[in-house]
Chain A
């Protein structure tokens, strides 16, 4: 009986071998996948196992952690002025994962990042309890407050950038939500979450970064830039050969103006009173491909604008026909942009043609406040020459001095801007969006460029609404930045 016995021994050996192979596969080859599986509760447990680091604005944390007596999650996230900062921080919830900075910088905030390896090892020897590192943002508390309070109960968004560095100074979105309301995983948290999910005003949407709007007349700034750059206009004060109304190319559709005095208006004058005809014609003269090129230099059609929170791609259609291009040149048709994108356009012009990459994380700090990494300002592109940028500034300043954007004037500071009212919906049936883009300029260059959009249902259907509704908000934000520079 010994021969079959030996075979049975081999069989048993194979059983054990199969187990050994499997356990190697599971714990060595597949471990990484299993550890990052979205169903793995350890990720959440780890996220709240120790005191989470904070997100810092102006040297003060806008987040916090409280100790709970829960078996799974030792700490719970808290927020200072949650609704105001939600578009910056995102949320970190025990039940509903995390997003934006809370998610992107989770490694630093939990202290698990490889960048913190040294600190962790030191803490192990010194016996310190583990703590997360901090994320220091570029935001300006006063500007954010001005933006959030300016929007008030209106639906809309504000994005403000420091044109010289690309630092994001304000990022507001209303209506907003309080991330603290669903930071835990109890019934109340689920209730708050579900209510937000169902809310048709979409409070969780980050309108400043993640929503695209038709830019309306604010886009004319970009068309003007293209006209100057590609030689369609040499002298901004020279009359353009523009009829009124203007017939869209290849069609019989007549494009009117909302103001008189646009016939043969100069570029300067056309921007000041926001002539549709002049810019539609200029867009057509420059041509679709060149318009696309200019728009892309400013950041359109780029799905990877990471601040590091990724902004939605703004659209300037690459394949549309001639009338489409003409309409797009005045910010209609299917042109769509995020408030951040319009702030970038403004910032590039205010910065003499140099577009800086927008970012909102200034530096990452270890728990002991050592700086682990610091974001250096980075040039993204140069959409317009310095000379043309200054011409554009001159025209935008006209708009504020004596045009549609008078409400943005600030005493003693040069302010340039552009209003816009974007019609949307089928046959423009829905209420328009009020836009205002602007920058302030001091002797040291421009410290702030702002884009404001208000989805206002009561707005009057003309360009005054951009100037009337959005410009005062932009003014407050610029004022706040200027004050904080003093």
Chain B
């Protein structure tokens, strides 16, 4: 091999691309949901569901396209991210389909809206769009560093996205939607990616200024105002979201993202203190006069109180759903998680997993999310450029916080906030945005793991090697 003769110190031994590993894992990620689908069909109707072939082929096709795109455009990327996301998306589809079959939910929809339309086909379409976006990211984004150029544009776009819902009517108490004709979009889901891009670009440039050019005040390093400006603006933004859009989840997500990225960029623990302090001030300040937030806390503390029950029995129902699942679960299709009623297949879909797959299934499920985050942080560790590092940790941190906030809310660990579980919950914006997120992470990991290009042969080395008699 020619590389062996290379005398430079950079080891350019061809790194394995792991694409075949990914393909094998993908096969599992497709087969498991297909079996789950069959399982639900057998449990509900005692026969194979009619759509099993179409569903299996559809999911297989989507996974195949995504895999080919990765093979072609991100050859060295992390082999776990795509299969994990596919598995979650596939299982989510099965669960949404399962809840579509619930007579209780069908009747509920008919009583409320006069008709019932299944959500699973729509979710399948959103998943397809999501994977298309994923492929588009891989094709169009040749190098993630291009995103650096759009730092301030990102900020502007993020602000617009976050402010827009204020001008649309509230849906179920939260103004987090914008509607364009027949489509409704939850801009918060996209905003988390765009804000991560803005933070990465901004912090990469300003990190030294933020970390070093600061005055010591009461043991804390306080940055200069001009460095802090844009960050304070985002902080204020998230407070405003909380106040005007009563969207607890999104503001929590941005607070977390803000603190994590500042800490990574500046490497200063004092920033965590500073960030947490700002978050706390914001949260307490808002909570003290915002009845919506107070109500959520009240529901969380006393899910079974008579008063809570009158207003919303969802949390209590979700908890009982988990309880009913117990250790091994009732089996797919055999639970009563549809008692949750409203949002059973979106915000509360985790309860259905909990009830029908039990503690064992939930642990596996949470670990899959944990693995995605872990691969994301690993990508950040491996990335060679600070922008890539920041972006990767920002995206995976946002992902982790979102999972924690949603799952913690549904399980009664923290007050319920109303975001969606990435990939499994019903909702177009969520699925599409998270596929884009995975696309960007795969792009970064590809750059990070790509072997350094073989250096040009050194003429000096050539000279000394040739000894002529």
> What residues make up the interface of A, taking CB atoms closer than 8 Å to B?
1-9, 11-13, 15-16, 18-20, 22-24, 26-28, 30-35, 37, 39-42, 45, 71-72
Contact partner, B362, options A12, A18, A23, Cβ 8 Å = A23
Chain B residues near A23: list those with CB within 8 A.
322, 354, 359, 362-363, 366, 411
Interchain CA distance A37-B313 in the complex, whole Å: 13
Contact partner, B370, options A13, A26, A39, Cβ 8 Å = A13
Task: Say yes or no: is B326 at the interface (Cβ < 8 Å to chain A).
Answer: yes
Contact A12 B366 (CB under 8 A): no
Task: Say whether, besides A1-B267, A3-B267, A23-B322, A16 and B107 are in contact (CB < 8 Å).
Answer: no
Chain A residues near B103: list those with CB within 8 A.
71
Q: Please provide the 9 A-B residue pairs with the shortest distance between their CB atoms, ordered closest to farther.
A: A34-B323, A27-B359, A16-B370, A71-B103, A12-B400, A15-B404, A9-B377, A31-B323, A22-B413
Task: Say whether, besides A1-B386, A9-B374, A28 and B359 are in contact (CB < 8 Å).
Answer: yes
Task: Say whether, besides A27-B327, A45-B336, A8 and B397 are in contact (CB < 8 Å).
Answer: yes
Task: Say whether, besides A26-B412, A41-B336, A19 and B320 are in contact (CB < 8 Å).
Answer: no
Task: Say yes or no: is B95 at the interface (Cβ < 8 Å to chain A).
Answer: no
Contact A41 B339 (CB under 8 A): yes
B264, B313, B396 interface centre (most CB from chain A within 10 Å): B264
Contact B377 A34 (CB under 8 A): no
Number of interface residues of B (CB under 8 A): 52
Chain B residues near A19: list those with CB within 8 A.
366, 403-404, 407-408, 411, 413
Task: Say yes or no: is B316 at the interface (Cβ < 8 Å to chain A).
Answer: yes
Interchain CA distance A15-B263 in the complex, whole Å: 17
Chain A residues near B74: list those with CB within 8 A.
none
Task: Say whether, besides A2-B381, A5-B380, A20 and B366 are in contact (CB < 8 Å).
Answer: yes
Interface string of B27-60 (1 = CB under 8 A from A): 0000000000000000000000000000000000
Chain B residues near A15: list those with CB within 8 A.
400-401, 403-404
Interchain CA distance A16-B399 in the complex, whole Å: 11
Contact A34 B380 (CB under 8 A): no
Task: Say yes or no: is B325 at the interface (Cβ < 8 Å to chain A).
Answer: yes
> 6 extra interchain contacts, Cβ-Cβ under 8 A, other than A9-B374, A39-B320?
A3-B267, A5-B393, A8-B263, A16-B370, A30-B323, A35-B320
Task: Say yes or no: is B258 at the interface (Cβ < 8 Å to chain A).
Answer: no
CB A286 to nearest CB in B, in angstroms, measures 52
CB A69 to nearest CB in B, in angstroms, measures 10
Contact partner, B304, options A4, A31, A39, Cβ 8 Å = A39
Interchain CA distance A338-B184 in the complex, whole Å: 67
CB B207 to nearest CB in A, in angstroms, measures 9
Q: Considering the complex, which residues of chain B in the window 300-331 have a beta carbon less than 8 Å from any beta carbon of chain A? A: 304, 309, 313, 316, 319-320, 322-327
Chain B residues near A41: list those with CB within 8 A.
336, 339
Contact A22 B411 (CB under 8 A): yes
Interchain CA distance A485-B103 in the complex, whole Å: 53
Interchain CA distance A16-B374 in the complex, whole Å: 10
Contact A42 B336 (CB under 8 A): yes
A19, A27, A28, A72 interface centre (most CB from chain B within 10 Å): A27
Interchain CA distance A355-B283 in the complex, whole Å: 70
Contact partner, A1, options B336, B363, B374, B389, Cβ 8 Å = B389
A9, A13, A23, A30 interface centre (most CB from chain B within 10 Å): A23
Interchain CA distance A8-B263 in the complex, whole Å: 9
Interchain CA distance A40-B363 in the complex, whole Å: 24
Interface string of B361-402 (1 = CB under 8 A from A): 011001101100110011011000010011001001100110
Contact B389 A42 (CB under 8 A): no
Contact B104 A72 (CB under 8 A): yes
Q: Considering the complex, which residues of chain B in the window 397-444 have a beta carbon less than 8 Å from any beta carbon of chain A? A: 397, 400-401, 403-404, 407-408, 411-413
Ordered by A's residue number, 9 sampled pairs between the chains whose C-beta atoms are within 8 Å are A4-B267, A7-B263, A9-B378, A13-B374, A32-B323, A37-B304, A37-B316, A39-B304, A39-B313
Contact A6 B327 (CB under 8 A): no
Please, which residue of chain B has its CB at the minimum distance from the CB of A32? B323
CB B371 to nearest CB in A, in angstroms, measures 9
Interchain CA distance A72-B106 in the complex, whole Å: 12
Chain A residues near B324: list those with CB within 8 A.
31, 34-35, 40, 42
Task: Say yes or no: is B83 at the interface (Cβ < 8 Å to chain A).
Answer: no
CB A367 to nearest CB in B, in angstroms, measures 21
Please, which residue of chain A has its CB at the minimum distance from the CB of B105? A71
Contact A5 B323 (CB under 8 A): no
CB B326 to nearest CB in A, in angstroms, measures 5
Interchain CA distance A27-B326 in the complex, whole Å: 5
Chain A residues near B304: list those with CB within 8 A.
37, 39
Contact B366 A28 (CB under 8 A): no
Chain A residues near B369: list those with CB within 8 A.
16
Contact B404 A34 (CB under 8 A): no
Please, which residue of chain B has its CB at the minimum distance from the CB of A3? B267
CB B319 to nearest CB in A, in angstroms, measures 6
Chain A residues near B397: list those with CB within 8 A.
8, 12
Please, which residue of chain B has its CB at the minimum distance from the CB of A46? B336
Contact A18 B408 (CB under 8 A): yes
Chain A residues near B408: list those with CB within 8 A.
18-19, 22
Contact B404 A5 (CB under 8 A): no
CB A268 to nearest CB in B, in angstroms, measures 61
Task: Say yes or no: is B358 at the interface (Cβ < 8 Å to chain A).
Answer: yes
Task: Say yes or no: is B68 at the interface (Cβ < 8 Å to chain A).
Answer: no
Please, which residue of chain B has its CB at the minimum distance from the CB of A2? B381
Chain B residues near A1: list those with CB within 8 A.
264-265, 267, 386, 389-390
Task: Say whether, besides A19-B411, A39-B304, A39-B309, A8 and B264 are in contact (CB < 8 Å).
Answer: yes
Task: Say yes or no: is B185 at the interface (Cβ < 8 Å to chain A).
Answer: no
Task: Say yes or no: is B260 at the interface (Cβ < 8 Å to chain A).
Answer: yes
Task: Say whether, besides A22-B413, A39-B320, A16 and B373 are in contact (CB < 8 Å).
Answer: yes
Contact B336 A31 (CB under 8 A): no
Interchain CA distance A189-B359 in the complex, whole Å: 38
Chain A residues near B359: list those with CB within 8 A.
23-24, 27-28
Please, which residue of chain B has its CB at the minimum distance from the CB of A38? B304
B323, B326, B393, B404 interface centre (most CB from chain A within 10 Å): B323
Interchain CA distance A81-B293 in the complex, whole Å: 54
Task: Say whether, besides A23-B359, A27-B327, A42-B336, A18 and B322 are in contact (CB < 8 Å).
Answer: no
